[in-house]
Homo-oligomer: A and B are copies of this chain.
């Protein structure tokens, strides 16, 4: 009858579920930018990304910055242009770590059958 058994199995979750990262992925335009960059498989400049986005170039620039600050994208300046790429390894590792933490905490999906 341990109704509130606060085990610390999900201790890592607090460090993984960073609102900044999810906030960055909470906007449709940013998601489509991310997908575009992932499909591109090559660094894209701000202007190139903007060609695929229905919003102003300045807005795209801000979206890219938000994704970069969230650790989802990486930026590299080459001359006048700034090229963005997906931090795929970081992103993949983070997502899997979150999945592992949740799984280890709530093993068999012990959902609403209790009590």
A residues sitting closer than 8 Å to B (CB atoms) are: 2-10, 13-14, 17, 19, 22-28, 31, 34-35, 38-44, 48, 74, 76, 83, 85-89, 91-92, 95-96, 98-99, 102-103, 105-106, 109-112, 114-115
Return the 7 tightest CB-CB contacts between A and B, nearest first: A23-B26, A89-B109, A22-B25, A88-B106, A95-B99, A22-B26, A92-B99
Contacts of A22 in B (CB 8 A): 22-26, 31
A-B contact pairs, 17 of them (CB 8 A): A8-B39, A10-B38, A17-B25, A17-B34, A19-B25, A19-B27, A19-B28, A25-B26, A26-B26, A38-B105, A39-B105, A86-B106, A87-B111, A88-B106, A88-B110, A89-B111, A92-B103
